[in-house]
Chains A and B, each alone.
Chain A
């Protein structure tokens, strides 16, 4: 299982004036909150870096943070086409859990969970991590049996997981429709109590602020237009702000991974699909946990603002348009209303799509490539947010040492040639 003594790279901020605390809040309040400093600099690219991370989402910023804090590589840059966390980091439903079936998955997602559990302190940034539990429900006898097999596998990996009976579910989630005569009756479920949610924007901002404090250049509004190679070695990145040289480049661009791979002359086994989510108008607290159903394709939680946050599966065809097709949310809302009749007259406030990079085995790619110095961290598909700290942590290790550690090794691209796939279609379910 995941190691217990992770090097979390915790460092006090160099600029002590930037430290957030109850005292800094009180101090700023006296001054009408006019003294807050910007959380990170607007850096312009230098001519050369020791490493460049392409993609300023959660995974990319986490990679930069751990490269600087754990591996002492501070002469690095994060390049972002738009704004920080403007891609899938700001578009997901913020669910965090580590209850995966296979050992390889348990190892990386639990690694992430252990980092999540101290992340707000590590970063000195309130990421609003709330371990409110994630309850996955079953709607048939078969699903229930499959679930108990999975629960036992998960527990053998030392990850908390409990089967709940319909009576226990009724107590845990009073607003759920437990009528056994509905189309998909709730017959049981399994709960990971340590699962929950976090504020997605804060995760990106927290990592960005801490990385910036160590000297990492975060360059926004800078699109990569090409990857400069010298034979089989990467030597730089061509951008809208000119050529930036580096002999190590890590690509963490989610839905656009195939495009970037194409720039380097390599290929990926990835299909880019829209994943949709929507939030309702804010209401009083009615749901204090996360509910997922794989069979009816729906997951739901309530944000701290009171909005109901809903998501479902990916659209059925490839797309780079950040909007989805209508049948998916229609299906999702039908399931939500059947399970929670109390939501039937709720109005939806916002609806959006993000482009996710789906892999044939529903597991990510964390890998070196045939080009020396070029690394890819992609293929997280519909479930990347929960892995953010763990993904960044192992990817930083891969970039710094040019070889994967034990957690990252199974996720190499070579698994599509050897056949050693990590098939998480079942365990991941829809709300992967």
Chain B
């Protein structure tokens, strides 16, 4: 059983929480030029690492607030808990954030209001 430190309520049993899957997936703006293939990155394609994973959790049977967790998917060790909207502060968490393919994806670019021409070039590997 995991013990998760809710940033608002403190250490509680796993059963009180719900897991929301991969964190830091930005929704493309309504007015966006990306293809269906690139939009699928936002909608369906997910990071599924064997190792450190940045994910969202919710203290659903407690304060019901969302937060982020950096957790290892093999050892289940929780490296850090950090608020929604923030980025990981540990070195490993930061590295996992920067290394994700999603940072370069057109879908993520389309979530920010960046100029048209930089959006057009896809560095997505798929």
Chain A interface (Cβ < 8 Å from any Cβ of B): 256, 258-259, 265-272, 316-321, 325-327, 360, 370, 416-419
Supply 13 A–B pairs (Cβ within 8 Å), ascending by A.
Answer: A266-B125, A267-B125, A268-B45, A268-B48, A269-B40, A270-B46, A272-B50, A272-B73, A318-B73, A319-B76, A321-B73, A325-B14, A327-B14
- A297 vs chain B, min Cβ distance (A): 14
A417 to B107 Cα, complex, angstroms? 13
- A420 vs chain B, min Cβ distance (A): 11
10 further A-B contacts with Cβ under 8 Å, apart from A268-B48, A271-B21, are: A258-B48, A266-B126, A269-B44, A270-B46, A272-B48, A272-B73, A319-B73, A327-B14, A416-B44, A417-B36
Decide: A267 and B101 in contact? CB cutoff 8 A. Answer: yes
A128 to B78 Cα, complex, angstroms? 44
Residues of A within 8 A of B125 (CB): 265-267
Decide: B40 and A416 in contact? CB cutoff 8 A. Answer: yes
Closest to B69 in A: A317
A259 to B15 Cα, complex, angstroms? 29
Given A320-B74, A321-B76; A416-B126 close (CB under 8 Å): no
Given A258-B48, A318-B48; A327-B15 close (CB under 8 Å): yes
Question: Which 9 A-B pairs give the minimum distances between C-beta atoms?
Answer: A258-B48, A269-B44, A317-B19, A416-B44, A320-B50, A417-B40, A316-B19, A326-B1, A416-B40
Closest to A360 in B: B44
CB of B43 within 8 Å of the partner chain: yes
- B34 vs chain A, min Cβ distance (A): 12
Residues of B within 8 A of A270 (CB): 46, 48
A265 to B101 Cα, complex, angstroms? 10
The A-contacting residues of B in range 1-45, CB under 8 angstroms, are 1-2, 14-15, 18-19, 21, 36-37, 39-41, 43-45
Residues of B within 8 A of A317 (CB): 19, 55, 71
In this complex, the interface size class of chain B, counting residues with CB under 8 Å from chain A, is 20 to 34
Number of A-B contacts (CB under 8 A): 65
Residues of B within 8 A of A360 (CB): 44
Closest to B71 in A: A317
A271 to B43 Cα, complex, angstroms? 13
Chain B interface (Cβ < 8 Å from any Cβ of A): 1-2, 14-15, 18-19, 21, 36-37, 39-41, 43-46, 48-50, 53, 55, 71, 73-76, 101, 125-126
Decide: A318 and B44 in contact? CB cutoff 8 A. Answer: no
Residues of A within 8 A of B18 (CB): 316
A268 to B39 Cα, complex, angstroms? 14
Decide: B46 and A321 in contact? CB cutoff 8 A. Answer: no
Residues of B within 8 A of A321 (CB): 73-76
Interface centre among A270, A318, A321, A326 (most CB of B within 10 A): A318
Closest to A256 in B: B50
- A263 vs chain B, min Cβ distance (A): 12
Closest to B75 in A: A321
A417 to B41 Cα, complex, angstroms? 9
- A35 vs chain B, min Cβ distance (A): 45
Residues of B within 8 A of A268 (CB): 45, 48
- B123 vs chain A, min Cβ distance (A): 12
Residues of A within 8 A of B74 (CB): 319-321
Closest to B2 in A: A325
Decide: B53 and A318 in contact? CB cutoff 8 A. Answer: yes
A266 to B41 Cα, complex, angstroms? 12
A223 to B110 Cα, complex, angstroms? 39
Decide: B48 and A271 in contact? CB cutoff 8 A. Answer: yes
Given A319-B76, A325-B2; A267-B126 close (CB under 8 Å): yes
Interface centre among B19, B44, B53, B75 (most CB of A within 10 A): B44
A327 to B46 Cα, complex, angstroms? 25
Residues of A within 8 A of B14 (CB): 325, 327
Decide: B19 and A267 in contact? CB cutoff 8 A. Answer: no
Decide: B43 and A416 in contact? CB cutoff 8 A. Answer: yes
Closest to B41 in A: A267
Residues of A within 8 A of B48 (CB): 258, 268, 270-272, 318
A325 to B15 Cα, complex, angstroms? 9
Closest to B19 in A: A317
A9 to B75 Cα, complex, angstroms? 44
Given A417-B40, A418-B36; A267-B55 close (CB under 8 Å): no
- A53 vs chain B, min Cβ distance (A): 21
Decide: B37 and A417 in contact? CB cutoff 8 A. Answer: yes
Decide: B55 and A259 in contact? CB cutoff 8 A. Answer: no
